A and B are shown apart, each in its own frame.
Chain A
């Protein structure tokens, strides 16, 4: 499906990518196809507009935040490598008991998945989800008919439930702890990215 050989030439440092992300060659080629497809201006980089052109994201409550997650550090465009790196986060995790404990954490570890989600909430990157940030996210995720009071009450209860050290905000550890019962590997994995 598609001609891989012509793409392979265009992808820089293919092996490096495979090592880092764990994708197979075929996958990377398919992702390259998708990248090229999205890159309407053919500059070799994707800008925010390219993402916004994907219509489904416009009707996704967290769509814009997710787009922003692809553009870390105020960058305006990303190249293929970063694209792949971010998507690699969503590969299904494989329980590997023989993993070298000193090796760097794989990109698609549970912790990294959680961190991705955490960063969606924590816009100012201060390491905690403050009450305001949570209200913002909740506002996005709840139907418009929910009133401000209801919103605030939900936020307060949510923070109350998760906040263990009483600082009124949710740190990454608290976030992780509150989700320990969720089968994250299942929820945050796209199988066909295996």
Chain B
């Protein structure tokens, strides 16, 4: 393993070096050209000199391919760099991606500079704003957990808008104040407006970058969504503020009248809200379009990207906030797109989006590194730089503390001290700041170079220093605050039980106070929007989702139990191969309970107990105690509050709780089934069932439909016969579900058949009733039809992916609801 690793590293390093070497002649060639990333240049027609006389079989036509070649090469180098980093897990858990990339950029910049002594490759604003930023924002919008986002919207808006404005204004004014005291030197040609403009540039925070190191240290779930939402929205706010101040500067500080200030404020709101409106319109447009793309599945993913990109460009054209437009396009369309598109397209979209976002960010940071090497842009003013660093940190902290204090009065889930530390310390400045500062107009801003160099230094400092130290800092704080006493087994156990109780009671008591808006929205959505935007087929199945879902899973539960009984014990067994349902049974493994086995599992989990347990004496009793503690720690189901939302630009993360949900769900359904009393069964049906139970070979199918006003009962049994298709015609009468019973092979008395409560479909459409068994073995397993599987997934999470529906259960998004979060201030 070690040798392999080093071999891999060596190879990759070699490849990278090769790529770098290739860049040098490239650098040499383009020394005199503009940035290669200007795609406007077309080199197809140009040739450097006259074609040499005579016919050449093979010739080197560098100029023809130069531009696209170089672009491709850069992308390749960026990707190789990422690949090299990820070879070592230790590095990625300590250092945030942005830090790694920025250092890669520095190295490359050094190489280019050494080869060339100029910075041939710079990040032009055009490329940044038109090609690199949209994928990143779209990715954030598309993967945004909508439920939590809207529930925390108040906090998010407050941090994004008020926080950014606060940062901008305070930084700008303070710098201006310092300037006036003369510490920065008398030869700076800047006024108040320029400082405010600089403030807006440097205020944009990218906190998500810092959170990627927190995968194993438990961060408050509410914190994550607030930070995520904040970093998404504040990009938009920053750009708007920037434009406002930029136009002020262009007009000239002396010429600004009161009316202009007012106009500035109004334009802020207009640009933001207008951008959001454009985004929403395009989001709905996209949803409607995907409704009709059933026949063109191959190009379905393309629609998502193209229409989202159009929303960005449209908003840009109308001088509205393009960032907000594309973000909200992603937010609005996710639900309908996921309902409409086929599974493969959804996967394609997800991966492509991550690829673009990750790639774009990589390229940005690389260029950031390379641009830093350009000596032309360097202007050094110690006081300015120092004060900037101080002010942004201090004001960020102050801003966060004040806002959190205000918000905690309204929030149910408070943001604790440690969350505030994470938010303020994790406020890294990123690529946005750099792109904006380079965009400054030199004619109006005379000290552009100073701003640029300061920005570069700030970005480097925050990303490298703060990014590297945030995790140790948080760990240190957490450990300090954690109780030194090892919790008793009882406390651990019962404490966890209490957590579960509390989540259940929260669910039962509902979102008191906030349910109203949510219900209104879901009703509206169901009645009007979904009818417009979700495919007919998805709609139909969605309407039946709950009932059929329950039915299917209960069937699975039945089959589980019956299978277990048939096998002679209730040992859970994997039955994936036999049952064509997405349904992994928990495996019965004989884990040995030795120390090493237990402690080796889930090695990535940070067990902050470790230091406490290490101090204990290693007597056998204590060792056993440790084992038990760890076992409880690792194997207790997590309560809902502890579920983490996980977002990373560079990774697609599937949450762990899916497995947990499945297990619990299956178990619950099985138990419910066993406990149901046969209150609704008619006696004669019972008798008939028991009769058929005796027949081992075949089991007669009942389709006794009793369409009367009482609660009629259906009992269906499936043929064991391979060739017959069983169609269950469901009676469209009162509420309920019909259960399907597995054929009882043995004559075990504990049949579920006697205990089936029968509930029914309300809907008239019968397509969900078609269960076509495909018997591949003699075991009493049920295999569901492909059709049913496609439309109605067999486990809670697939189900959520494919559609959303109205019931509170079904409202849960991919990531879990947190009912304690505030919906709106």
Interface residues of A (CB under 8 A from B): 1-2, 27, 30-31, 33-34, 37-38, 40-41, 49, 51-64, 66, 70, 87, 90, 116-117, 120-121, 137-138, 140-147, 149-150, 153-154, 157-158, 161-162, 175, 178-179, 181-182, 184, 187-188, 190-193
CA A34 – CA B511 in complex, angstroms?
A: 8
Residue B764 is within 8 A (CB to CB) of chain A in the complex: no
Chain B residues in 8 Å Cβ range of A157: 489, 624-625, 628
Residue B3 is within 8 A (CB to CB) of chain A in the complex: no
CB proximity of B400 to chain A, nearest CB, Å: 23
CA A191 – CA B821 in complex, angstroms?
A: 11
Chain B residues in 8 Å Cβ range of A190: 502, 505-506, 509
Within 8 A of A (CB), among B562-589: 572, 586-589
CB proximity of B489 to chain A, nearest CB, Å: 5
Contact status A55-B808, CB under 8 Å: yes
CB proximity of B812 to chain A, nearest CB, Å: 7
Chain A residues in 8 Å Cβ range of B661: 59
> Scoring B residues 624 to 657 as 1 if CB is less than 8 Å from chain A, else 0, what string do you get?
1100100110011100100000000000000000
Contact status B807-A55, CB under 8 Å: yes
Contact status B508-A87, CB under 8 Å: yes
Contact status A138-B493, CB under 8 Å: yes
CB proximity of B513 to chain A, nearest CB, Å: 6
Residue B796 is within 8 A (CB to CB) of chain A in the complex: yes
Comparing B230-238, B391-399, B666-674, B689-697, the segment that makes contact with chain A is B666-674
Contact status B497-A158, CB under 8 Å: no
> Scoring B residues 481 to 494 as 1 if CB is less than 8 Å from chain A, else 0, what string do you get?
00000001111011
Q: Which residue of A lies closest to B662 (CB)?
A: A59
Contact status A59-B664, CB under 8 Å: yes
Kindly identify which residue among A53, A54, A120, A187 contacts B502, using a CB–CB cutoff of 8 Å: A187
Contact status A59-B628, CB under 8 Å: no
CA A66 – CA B664 in complex, angstroms?
A: 14
Residue B660 is within 8 A (CB to CB) of chain A in the complex: yes
CA A41 – CA B632 in complex, angstroms?
A: 41
CB proximity of A107 to chain B, nearest CB, Å: 14
Residue B296 is within 8 A (CB to CB) of chain A in the complex: no
Interface residues of B (CB under 8 A from A): 412, 488-491, 493-510, 512-513, 515-516, 519, 546, 572, 586-591, 593, 624-625, 628, 631-632, 635-637, 640, 660-661, 663-665, 667-669, 671-672, 675, 735, 759, 796, 807-810, 812, 817, 820
CA A41 – CA B640 in complex, angstroms?
A: 29
Contact status A90-B591, CB under 8 Å: no
Contact status A40-B510, CB under 8 Å: no
CB proximity of B633 to chain A, nearest CB, Å: 11
Contact status B663-A141, CB under 8 Å: no
Contact status A150-B593, CB under 8 Å: yes
CB proximity of B597 to chain A, nearest CB, Å: 10
Contact status A193-B810, CB under 8 Å: no
Chain B residues in 8 Å Cβ range of A144: 572, 586, 663, 667
Contact status A147-B591, CB under 8 Å: yes
Q: What are 19 of the A-B contact pairs (CB < 8 Å)? A: A34-B509, A55-B809, A56-B503, A56-B809, A59-B665, A61-B500, A66-B501, A66-B505, A66-B508, A141-B497, A141-B500, A142-B635, A154-B631, A157-B628, A181-B488, A181-B491, A191-B820, A192-B412, A193-B512
Among A62, A137, A157, A158, the one with the most B-chain Cβ atoms within 10 Å of its Cβ is A62
Among A57, A58, A187, the one with the most B-chain Cβ atoms within 10 Å of its Cβ is A58
Contact status B502-A60, CB under 8 Å: no
Chain A residues in 8 Å Cβ range of B572: 144
Kindly identify which residue among A1, A121, A161, A187 contacts B488, using a CB–CB cutoff of 8 Å: A161
Q: Which residue of B lies closest to A180 (CB)?
A: B491
Contact status A145-B817, CB under 8 Å: no
Chain B residues in 8 Å Cβ range of A2: 516
Chain A residues in 8 Å Cβ range of B817: 56
Q: Which residue of A lies closest to B516 (CB)?
A: A1
Answer whether A179 and B490 are a contact pair too, CB < 8 Å, given A53-B809, A153-B628.
yes
Contact status B508-A149, CB under 8 Å: no
Among B509, B589, B625, B632, the one with the most A-chain Cβ atoms within 10 Å of its Cβ is B509
CA A149 – CA B512 in complex, angstroms?
A: 43
Contact status A142-B637, CB under 8 Å: yes
Contact status B504-A66, CB under 8 Å: yes
CB proximity of B816 to chain A, nearest CB, Å: 8
Q: Which residue of B lies closest to A178 (CB)?
A: B490
Chain A residues in 8 Å Cβ range of B519: 37
Among A59, A90, A142, the one with the most B-chain Cβ atoms within 10 Å of its Cβ is A59
Q: Which 7 A-B pairs have the closest CB atoms?
A: A55-B809, A144-B586, A34-B510, A178-B490, A56-B507, A66-B504, A59-B661
Kindly identify which residue among B508, B590, B632, B675 contacts A51, using a CB–CB cutoff of 8 Å: B508
Chain B residues in 8 Å Cβ range of A147: 588-591, 593
Chain B residues in 8 Å Cβ range of A137: 497
Contact status A140-B667, CB under 8 Å: yes
Contact status B504-A188, CB under 8 Å: no
CB proximity of B668 to chain A, nearest CB, Å: 5
CA A27 – CA B632 in complex, angstroms?
A: 37
CA A132 – CA B717 in complex, angstroms?
A: 35
Q: Which residue of B lies closest to A147 (CB)?
A: B591
Contact status A143-B637, CB under 8 Å: yes
Contact status B505-A57, CB under 8 Å: no
Q: Which residue of B lies closest to A181 (CB)?
A: B491
Chain B residues in 8 Å Cβ range of A121: 497
Answer whether A58 and B669 are a contact pair too, CB < 8 Å, given A142-B637, A150-B591, A150-B593.
yes
Chain A residues in 8 Å Cβ range of B631: 146, 150, 154
Contact status B494-A178, CB under 8 Å: yes
Kindly identify which residue among B507, B590, B759 contacts A57, using a CB–CB cutoff of 8 Å: B507
CA A192 – CA B822 in complex, angstroms?
A: 10
Contact status B809-A87, CB under 8 Å: no
CA A18 – CA B512 in complex, angstroms?
A: 17
CB proximity of B552 to chain A, nearest CB, Å: 13
Among B664, B759, B812, the one with the most A-chain Cβ atoms within 10 Å of its Cβ is B664
Contact status A59-B668, CB under 8 Å: yes
CA A74 – CA B812 in complex, angstroms?
A: 31
CB proximity of B755 to chain A, nearest CB, Å: 14
Q: Which residue of A lies closest to B676 (CB)?
A: A48
Contact status A90-B502, CB under 8 Å: yes
Contact status B808-A145, CB under 8 Å: no
Chain B residues in 8 Å Cβ range of A187: 495, 498-499, 502
CA A161 – CA B492 in complex, angstroms?
A: 12
Chain B residues in 8 Å Cβ range of A49: 759
Q: Which residue of B lies closest to A49 (CB)?
A: B759
CA A142 – CA B590 in complex, angstroms?
A: 16
CB proximity of B499 to chain A, nearest CB, Å: 7
CB proximity of A78 to chain B, nearest CB, Å: 11
Contact status B504-A192, CB under 8 Å: no
Chain B residues in 8 Å Cβ range of A52: 672
Chain B residues in 8 Å Cβ range of A181: 488, 491
Contact status B636-A141, CB under 8 Å: yes
CB proximity of A21 to chain B, nearest CB, Å: 13
Q: Known pairs A62-B497, A66-B504; list 11 more (Cβ under 8 Å).
A: A34-B512, A49-B759, A55-B809, A55-B810, A58-B664, A64-B671, A140-B667, A144-B663, A150-B631, A154-B631, A154-B632
CA A2 – CA B501 in complex, angstroms?
A: 28
Chain B residues in 8 Å Cβ range of A40: 735
Q: Which residue of A lies closest to B666 (CB)?
A: A144
Contact status A58-B665, CB under 8 Å: yes
CB proximity of A132 to chain B, nearest CB, Å: 16
CA A121 – CA B624 in complex, angstroms?
A: 25
Chain A residues in 8 Å Cβ range of B640: 56, 60
Q: Which residue of A lies closest to B498 (CB)?
A: A187
CB proximity of A110 to chain B, nearest CB, Å: 12
Q: Which residue of A lies closest to B669 (CB)?
A: A58
CB proximity of A115 to chain B, nearest CB, Å: 12
Contact status B489-A161, CB under 8 Å: yes
CB proximity of B217 to chain A, nearest CB, Å: 22
Chain A residues in 8 Å Cβ range of B512: 27, 30-31, 34, 192-193
CA A149 – CA B586 in complex, angstroms?
A: 17
Answer whether A178 and B491 are a contact pair too, CB < 8 Å, given A154-B631, A157-B628.
yes
